[in-house]
Amino acid sequence: MNTDQFTGCSLAFPEGLKVPDAAKSHPELVAELSFGEELTENNWLSELLQGKTVAELGCNLGLRAAYLAPCTRRIFCTDPDARRLSLACETFRLNQRRNVVVVDDITKEIPTDVLFIDTRRYSDGSLPEFTAQAPILIVVGPLPRSAASRILRAGYEHLPQYHRAAVFTAPRRQHGVQ
């Protein structure tokens, strides 16, 4: 584990993962650079995504994709914020992730095995247009009922009967359990 110091913050990143200097010096972005809580999540994702083509909606600074890229065939990334998408490009360049492609939007023409949606990047609840052409759909972050309905509807429209599954998880503290 590598620990970098940015303006009084100590953040842990996997060994060798590089973050663009512009992200380290911007106060709003520094607050988002907590990779530690996602590390366990990304470790099990790396096994699930082994050799697959992934489309990531809401890539933010590209840290997750940069971390997961070595285990995937290819990752297509997009984000609603142009500045963060630009920093994601820099993250991929710094980390020499040549199998990651930054796109303006994820279209049905992009053949993927996995559609990954980080709803935290779409805080107003309005997800971008997408069609779930991937057999695996992963959603992280808060999930309003309207977004959950849309995501599940998109998934069920293309999958053959009986070949579907959904897993919903939430932090225990949100359900009154400690």
Domain-located, residue 20: no
| pLDDT confidence bin for 171, thresholds 50/70/90 | low
pLDDT, mean over the chain: 76
Q: Which domain holds residue 123?
A: 51-162
157 φ, ψ (degrees, to nearest 5): -65, -30
Domain-located, residue 177: no
State yes or no: pLDDT of 44 exceeds 70: yes
Domain count, the chain: 1
Domain-located, residue 35: no
The CATH number that applies at residue 57 is 3.40.50.150
Per-residue model confidence as pLDDT tens digits over 126-135:
777 766 567 7
Specify which residues 78 forms β-bridges with: 57
Domain-located, residue 173: no
Exposed / middle / buried, residue 44 (Cβ in 10 Å: 0-12, 13-18, 19+): exposed
Domain-located, residue 40: no
Domain-located, residue 127: yes
* pTM score: 0.76
